[in-house]
Amino acid sequence: MLKKLTNRVDDALKTAGLTWMDLSARAEQIILFGSTAVGCDRPDSDVDLLCVGEGKDLDTGRLHLLWIKNQCFRDPLWLGSEIGTHVAQYGVWLKGKPTFAASSAPHPRALERKRERIFRRAHALLRNWAALSPRFRAAQRRKLRLDVQRLELLQRGLAVKPNPLLDQNWRNKRNRVKWLKAVLSGEGDLWRVVESVMKMPLGNRLPRFEHLQEPSCG
């Protein structure tokens, strides 16, 4: 299992002109997170690595490197953040060992930030919708929906799951509109703005609500 993961990481590093040796020499800890860590990645999924130490973030679409300082693991705000709780629950340590609890509850600030991001994205989409092509409308609406799913997990005190698992959960939902409304109804204006985005047409068609079409990317 670990061999399979390290091969996947090596391949992703190669696409960015990096090697495991380079990265390992610079990072005190290297943690695989996201869909690859959970084993629900698709061939086109990117590899997410959280590196502890000093380095530069990188996002090539195939490899996503995030650098954090060692002190973060002692900061309750970071440990209770969306990424902190996700890494604690789903992270696979490829170098070093976990120095914090395997599960921690989301900090109230994580929920606050998530609500803020949903609100901002929904407003941004309402402003920019006309200039987006149908595939990017669908991609942006998927991002909004994923954020609502993450908010729901945070509301329940759970770590956020990787995107392919959230997509799968979404596909299995019977009444999506009712579910979205239930999650957002106690969140002030959120339901109203998210509903407006969900009602926007994906193409040059009349607005529809129930279909909520999205691309199948991971």
Partner 1 sequence: MTITSKAIDAVVDAAEDLSWDLSDPQDVDSKMDVLASALLDLGAISFTRDEKKRFDLYDILVKYAKEGLIDDSAAGYCSEINNGIRRFDYDMHDGDSFRERIADEVDALQDEIKTAMKKLEKNVKKANE
In the complex with partner 1, the residue whose CB is nearer, 74 or 109, is 109
In the complex with partner 1, the residue whose CB is nearer, 150 or 152, is 150
Query: Is 58 in contact with 64 (CB distance < 8 Å)?
Result: yes
Least CB distance from residue 178 to partner 1, whole Å?
25
Least CB distance from residue 113 to partner 1, whole Å?
5
In the complex with partner 1, the residue whose CB is nearer, 78 or 90, is 78
Instruction: Convert the chain into a string of H (helix), E (strand) and C (coil).
Output: CHHHHHHHHHHHHHHCCCCHHHHHHHEEEEEEECHHHHCCCCCCCCEEEEEEECCCCEECCCEEEEEECHHHHHCHHHHCCHHHHHHHHHCEEEECCCCCCCCCCCCHHHHHHHHHHHHHHHHHHHHHHHHCCHHHHHHHHHHHHHHHHHHHHHHCCCCCCCHHHHHHHHHCCCCHHHHHHHHHCCCCCHHHHHHHHHHCCCCCCCCCCCCCCCCCCC
In the complex with partner 1, the residue whose CB is nearer, 1 or 61, is 61
| Chain positions contacting partner 1, by CB under 8 A | 44, 57-61, 64, 66, 68, 78, 81-83, 109-110, 113, 117, 120-121, 123-125, 127-128, 131-133, 135-136, 139-140, 143, 217-218
In the complex with partner 1, the residue whose CB is nearer, 212 or 217, is 217
Rg (CA), the chain: 18
In the complex with partner 1, the residue whose CB is nearer, 94 or 125, is 125
Least CB distance from residue 217 to partner 1, whole Å?
5
Least CB distance from residue 3 to partner 1, whole Å?
26
